[in-house]
Structure 1
Amino acid sequence: MSFLHEMSTKGVFPDFVTYNTLIGGFCRVGRPKTALELLHKMQVCGQHPDLQTCAILLDGLCKNLHFSEAMPLFQEMEEKKVHLNIAIYSILIDGICNTGRLTTAKELFNSLPTKGLQPDVRTYNIMVKGLCKEGLLNEVREVLEKMEENGCSPDHFTYNTIIQGFLQHNETSLVVKYLKIMVDKGLSANANTTTILIDLLSTNQADKILQDFFQKSV
């Protein structure tokens, strides 16, 4: 901030790169309100924020759970006819899920085709994570089916999230099903999934279906 002030006293004016760097930096250290002040300063100085600026700030506000500031920013972007891409909507949907407003997140997710947008793998993964967190496992399976129908291939994050969700709700037969699919696709369990499975097997709490799967795999 001292350098920013020094620039102005020397007649050197910050550009988009300068502002975006500062906004991103303040968001990363948990100071999104300072980042928001920089956005307003940017506008006062005659610099109109671009899509990248808005994306950085929106992501920072959501990750720091400043949803009351994130939503007006998003609405302002819509009102100004900023071309909002799927990355912007993914950021917002993730932020909404993290504040526990899953119904609102689902409504926005389902409205994407009407906006001329298709979810990408990140968007689907965000919804899978949110649904797993709330224990809505039937809806998780529906989202996975829709994902594949739309030609978007699930990745290792998708399957690991699903497997962890089903493990937490003791849906062992489905855990085995998705483990098999994941392995067949050449994808691997991540550290969290592996830890949960090892803990379950080591305490003899795993049921026979899961035990048989690992005996056959070994």
Structure 2
Amino acid sequence: MDEVVKAFNTMVRNGCLPSVVSYNILINGYCKNRKIDEAISLFREMSTKGLFPNVVTYSTLIGGFCRVGRPKIALKLLHEMQGCGQPPNIRTCAILLDRLCKNLHFTEAMALFKEMEDKKLDLDIVIYSILIDGMCNAGRLMTASELFNALPTKGFQPDVCTYTIMIKGLCKEGLLNEARELLEKMEEHGCSPNHFTYNTIIQGFLQHNETSWAVKYLKMMVDKGLSTNATTAAILIDLITTNRADKSLQDFFLKAL
């Protein structure tokens, strides 16, 4: 960044006036290095130079504020952007929506989502998955389920990521039967579970001491050539080494050896 700033200042001293593109490059560099105060200073400087920020400028800053955990300021920038006649793109909104959810600003997240729908932005399954994941993580399973169940009416079908998110949410709340049913429904609808899906449901059942079902899904996963991840392996090893594993789990490991 020091070299970039030197080049920028040299350009100015030599009478070569920076353009919006020049400012965007420098602002992006500051944002990537989490130097948001320097980025916003350049942003404000642009107007004194008679330059108007474009969608790239605003999107870069919004991403920068999200990166440093300040999504509410990013949301204000989004509204400022719209007020200046710069319509946000779907990627910018996705970044902001994700960060609002992760910072537990759910009222703002839902308001942004509603605004995106009202403005008829080109929403996709990724946007819905971000919101569903945020609601599940916050324990707002009813809201997550409503969003998930409404997908077909919006013209979308859940993908493997969306199904896995909902399965995780159900397991987290101890709704294991519902998690099993959703896994079956997923396969019935032609969406094959991947190793993330199996690891998610196995962890859920193990954490609720339902080892027989966990073993069933372990066998399914192994038969499909998929493997456990580090979290699943750690839970399994802990159960075995502390003698808390039931016979079905012990037998599975003996056969695996």
TM-score between both structures, scaled by the size of structure 2: 0.82
Say which of 98, 102, 112 aligns to 2:137: 98
Quote how far apart the aligned CAs of 1:106 are.
0.8
Structure 2: unaligned runs, 5 residues or longer: 1-39
Contact 1:20 1:56 in 2 (8 A): no
Given the alignment of the two structures, is residue 172 of structure 1 paired with residue 211 of structure 2, yes or no? yes
Say which of 28, 44, 47 aligns to 2:83: 44
Say which of 117, 120, 124 aligns to 1:85: 124
Over 3 Å off, 4+ runs: none
- One-letter identity of the residue aligned with 2:43: L
Q: Cα RMSD between the aligned structures?
A: 1.2
Quote how far apart the aligned CAs of 1:67 are.
0.5
Deviations 1:105-125 (A, max 9, x none): 111111111111101111111
Higher relative contact order (CA 8 A, sep 6+): 1
- Aligned mates of 1:94, 1:14 — CA distance in 2: 33
Quote how far apart the aligned CAs of 1:35 are.
0.4
- Aligned mates of 2:77, 2:162 — CA distance in 1: 28
Fraction of identical pairs, as percent: 76
* Matched position secondary structure for 2:235: helix
Quote how far apart the aligned CAs of 1:149 are.
1.4
Deviations 1:119-170 (A, max 9, x none): 1111111101100100101111111111111211111111111011100111
- Aligned mates of 2:60, 2:82 — CA distance in 1: 16
The residue that corresponds to 1:194 in the other structure is: 233
The structure with the larger Rg is: 2
- Aligned mates of 1:66, 1:141 — CA distance in 2: 30
The residue that corresponds to 2:246 in the other structure is: 207
Map of 1:1-218 to 2, 5 A cutoff? 1-218=40-257
Structure 1: unaligned runs, 5 residues or longer: none
User: Per the alignment, do residues 16 and 186 of structure 1 end up closer, same or farther by CA in structure 2, a change over 3 Å counting?
Assistant: farther
Aligned length: 218
User: Per the alignment, do residues 151 and 26 of structure 1 end up closer, same or farther by CA in structure 2, a change over 3 Å counting?
Assistant: same
